[in-house]
Amino acid sequence: MIDLNFKYKEAISYLKKESPFIPDVALILGSGLGDFVNSTKKIKSLSTSAIPGYPKATVEGHQGVIHFSIIENKNVLIFQGRLHFYEGYKLSDCLLPVFLTSKLSCNQIILTNAAGGISRNFVPGDLMLIDSFNSINLKKEIANLIGISSIDKRNNFLNCPSKKMNEIFIESAKEIGIPLNSGTYWYTKGPSYETPAEIELIRKFGGDAVGMSTVHEAVFASSLKIDVAAVSCITNMAAGISLQKLSHNEVTETAAKVAEIFSLLLKTAISRL
């Protein structure tokens, strides 16, 4: 396993020096969801380009800014944008937001993403609380790529996502009257969208939504004993389910349309953490 403490020694030092508080919760914003930060009380913002050794995000909708914000009297560390394996980075690079979260002594994280809907019950714009993760050889492939080798650390994944945090999201959705589906998020490496045949295979294996992020972040966070909750915005229906050609523009446009209810759900849940 790559020694992240050594590799990102300067980044850790820089962020600890610049941090105005110890975060109560961290939040990683997915494609098209970055504008959420504008509805928060920002205390301090740092461009990731100013952080020594921090890789550059190259995907549209991932701005590469870290915010220290106040949300409902909670100190929140917000990563506006994430790094993806398909951008050509090592998986260890893609784990940096989670790793820095742990170094700031934060033990709760919320992961968000834009995902393709597989369940026939979904329509673009739906929100799905992730209650399970999957992939081909998930535990072996993801855990080995990350470098999680011990039995104890692998078993931490059994409570991922956190049942307690998921209950908070469910109760928050009920409180504000927002429909919130739940389901299994299936991880693929990308960058190409999945074929109709691949989607049918994923559907038969129980996948409700599919995307190219989040799972390795969740596994790694759990290995560090950080509680994880994750919410997908269903921005399009997956190949073979919708006749419409898939595009990243569709992803970001749909995410923008549900930004208001998504923001309300996040804020309500964060207030309960």
β partners of residue 182: 129
Domain residue spans of the chain: 4-272
pLDDT (0 to 100) of residue 172: 98
* Helix pair 96-103, 215-223: axis angle to 10 deg: 30
Please write the tens of the pLDDT for every residue from 81-95: 888 877 878 877 888
Residue 143, φ and ψ in degrees, nearest 5 = -60, -40
pLDDT tier at 150 (50, 70, 90 boundaries)? low
pLDDT (0 to 100) of residue 193: 80
Please write the tens of the pLDDT for every residue from 176-203: 999 999 999 998 887 778 888 988 989 9
Q: Read off the pTM.
A: 0.90
pLDDT (0 to 100) of residue 1: 59
Classify 4-272 by CATH class. Answer: alpha beta
Please write the tens of the pLDDT for every residue from 35-68: 899 999 999 999 999 999 998 876 555 568 999 9
